[in-house]
Structure 1
Amino acid sequence: MSFIDKLRSGELADARTILKADPGLAQFREENGVSAVLIARYLGHADFAREIADAHPGIDLWEAAALGDQTRTAELLDNGLEDVNAVNADGFTPLGLACYFGHLEEARLLLERGANPNIISANPMAYLPIHSALAGGHKEIIALLIQKGAEVDEPSGSDWTPLHYVAESGDIETAQLLIKAGARTGYTRDDGKTALEVAEENGFTDLARLLATSAG
């Protein structure tokens, strides 16, 4: 099996051995352009993703964002080598990746450098960075995005608004943040359900009460 096959199958000891024998594999990209660093990160192998990056010092902005590598991010942006709002082969902006993987300070840096918090991913997920942060359950990043002007009502590709995500998780604190920022509770997703109905179905009584009293 190849390096990437070992990585995908979770056989990291073997993948590590192969990489050590041929460090150039750290620069591997699939035909669609997705790198080995991002594949490892998507699969939940954060430490190994870092090892791959260490074997390939020239990681790009999206890889740096996914790793939370602020030093590399600043270097790339300082030298004008990357567009902070461009999407990668997967359709995600650097900010979207930083938000999904929970890198608060990386997200803050990208926003300070001009990242737009309202760019929708160029893929069927149609995620805003706030959707990515919600999917990962990263409350501090959600609060940061709201502070920086993130849209709080935009549905994702699955037609879930941010409030629908919290209605699935029961996160009342984040619901309060969203409502305070102007999120409408009455949006009906394509299955006909509002966030209130989703919260009720999931047994989140306190959250349902909040949504009911904040109807709009």
Structure 2
Amino acid sequence: MDVLHAAASGDTVWLGLILRRSTTLPQRNREQGLRVLHVAALHGHVSFMETLLEGGIMEVDVRCPQGRTPLHLALTPKSAPWTQAAMSCLLKHEAQVNAATEDGLTPLHQAAAEGLLECVQALIEAGADPRLRDSNGHRPLELATIWCHRQVARFLKDAMWKKDKMAEGTQRRKLQRLKEGLQFWQHRHEFQEKSVRQDVSMERVKAWAKKKGMPLQWGPERGCFLLCHGQHTSTETKEREAPPKAPREAWNISPNPRKAPKASISRAQEVRISTRPQTEPPAPDLRRGVTLTQEPDGGPCYKACWETKPRPAPALPLNVLKRELFSADYPSRLGSPLDFQSRSVLDLPHLCRPPQPGASPWTDIAMHLVEELPPGHH
């Protein structure tokens, strides 16, 4: 009796003797290419699997010629009723949950096709991807639907939705950081262009003054003057001669420094320009320097005027990118003041009778509808 037959038959005595005598026998393949760990996982012999894995005799992700791992074979009807125990043993030793066979089948495909709800839940918690497809283009959800495993299909659909929302949230955070970076670089680019225009204008004025033989100087009636010999302007001289002002406390925003404002100083104070609700300042407009395009392969990218090559944008729909980056083109229909703070419905005062202890809130809603709606309409 060799190791394969000992593992299949569950003979612990023969398996122990063979493993002590030779370490090369566990590597022998059968006609189907299965090894010892495959057979032990196929028949659900957890103790044999622990012996092979803890002793370092075999790797946990050893593959057969078809690309199947022991985790694939543990999720079969032959391993019942020790299917979950065998799977837990393999996951404890860090088995790959997304390992695919030559047909593209993952352990999650196998568990979904067999309708093993608890195993599917454990694989999802271990990091299995429910969006992977096999060679036929089927995801685990499609296999569970084909074999009429409703509970597994519902769980997989919910898991896919959560995965998609987490991925979308990650991409939206990347988009927010990208937007802040683009606003900063656009402001810097505009400032540099303005400086260049001012330098060009100054050079033209200097050339014109030199051609006319006039000194580069403006009179005091123009508000300030500039001497061509490196002298300071009159505005700078006045600022230097002015006495320094007394420092004002950070919380005291009153026009009269000697009198504190009649308000609470426990929170930050602000100057109200008018009695109307305050609104947020307009966001920088990125339409002047950033353009969005769609690559031939379907991925979005953006091109900034201060860069030479386009860069890939976060993996989001093009309309979402436009709405976030070019918010001026999509004004909000509901404008809220800057100091608006939303409140929960549960904090609002109730106009009906107080709820009874232990009563369900849905009972109060039903009674309220009976009182408000006319008879025969509820």
TM-score relative to the length of structure 1: 0.66
Is the CA contact (8 Å cut-off) linking 1:69 and 1:106 kept in structure 2?
no
Q: Of residues 58, 70, 86 in structure 2, which corresponds to 1:129?
A: 70
SS in 2 for 1:84: helix
Partner of 2:59: 116
Partner of 2:343: none
Partner of 2:12: 70
Partner of 1:49: none
Partner of 2:305: none
Paired-residue identity, %: 28
Partner of 1:94: 36
Partner of 1:195: 140
Which range is displaced more, 142-151 or 152-161?
152-161
Partner of 1:30: none
SS in 2 for 1:183: coil
- 2 CA distance for matches of 1:88 and 1:201? 33
Considering fraction of residues, name the structure with more helix. 1
- 2 CA distance for matches of 1:81 and 1:120? 18
- 2 CA distance for matches of 1:128 and 1:146? 12
Matching of residue 184 in structure 1 with residue 129 in structure 2: yes
- 1 CA distance for matches of 2:68 and 2:50? 19
Q: Partner letter of residue 106 of structure 2? A: T
Matching of residue 170 in structure 1 with residue 115 in structure 2: yes
- 1 CA distance for matches of 2:24 and 2:4? 9
SS in 1 for 2:75: helix
Q: State the Cα deviation string for residues 127-167 of structure 1 (Å, max 9, x = none).
A: 11111111234221011111111111112233211111122
Partner of 1:106: 48
Which range is displaced more, 84-93 or 63-72?
84-93
Q: Which has the larger Rg?
A: 2
Q: How does 1:6-45 map to 2 (within 5 A)?
A: none
Partner of 2:99: 154
- 1 CA distance for matches of 2:154 and 2:42? 28
Summarize the Cα distance change of 1:95–1:70 in structure 2 as closer, same or farther, 3 Å threshold.
same
- Tell me by how many angstroms 1:87 deviates: 3.0
Q: How does 1:44-83 map to 2 (within 5 A)?
A: 59-83=1-25
Matching of residue 214 in structure 1 with residue 159 in structure 2: yes
Is the CA contact (8 Å cut-off) linking 1:84 and 1:113 kept in structure 2?
no
TM-score relative to the length of structure 2: 0.39
Partner of 2:291: none
- Tell me by how many angstroms 1:205 deviates: 2.4
Is the CA contact (8 Å cut-off) linking 1:168 and 1:199 kept in structure 2?
yes
Q: Pairwise CA RMSD of aligned residues? A: 1.8
Q: State the Cα deviation string for residues 157-210 of structure 1 (Å, max 9, x = none).
A: 332111111221211100011111111000011111111122223332221221
Structure 2 stretches of 5 or more lacking a match? Answer: 164-378
Q: Partner letter of residue 114 of structure 2? A: S
Q: How many residues are treated as equivalent by the alignment?
A: 156
Structure 1 stretches of 5 or more lacking a match? Answer: 1-58
